[in-house]
Amino acid sequence: MNCAEKLVILMQAKKDKIAKVIGVEFGEMYFNKEDAEELLGLPEEKAEYIYARIKADIADIRVRGLVGSLCPFCYIVKHSCRICKYATRHGGCKVKPSDYVELINQFIERRLAVSDVLSNKFYKDLIKEIEKQGGLND
């Protein structure tokens, strides 16, 4: 399994968790076919770098929730929403209206903390599963 595929699995798992907690339509809002195709089209060197950064942030600084350091699209454009294809499809993360703002609002309406639902443990377990599927145990 290459690193672009690992990034798709990571995003798909977040999508599935969001769908389970706040509804299928919100999972689709977060990550869709076009998003997966963009990730799968990354040069392997770039995908490796992005995957390694996300993996390190999960392990080292215990990131959680829906933050830029867990978003492969933020790394693709070096956190510049103006040139982000994901932001073109979904709206910028800090812009109203956008899918991100709507997702956060849905968590708030349900009195759920995004960082509890998408906890560091969720991400650590996910990385272990991705590594296991990929035949890597590092």
Q: Tell me if residue 37 falls in helix, strand or coil.
A: helix
In a domain, 138, yes or no: no
Query: What is the per-residue pLDDT for 138?
Result: 43
Amino acid at residue number 32? N
Instruction: Report if pTM > 0.95.
Output: no
Give 28-78 pLDDT, tens digit per residue: 889 999 999 999 999 999 999 999 999 999 999 888 988 888 999 999 999
Q: Average pLDDT of 78-92? A: 90
Structure tokens at 124: 């650590």
CA–CA distance, 50 with 103 (Å, rounded to integer): 24
Tokens at residue 94, please? Answer: 């800090």
Q: How far apart are CA 124 and CA 130, in angstroms?
A: 10
Of all helices (H) and strands (E), which one includes residue 17? helix 3-22
Tell me the average pLDDT of the chain.
Answer: 91
**Number of domains forming the structure of the chain:** 1
Q: Which domain holds residue 85?
A: 3-133
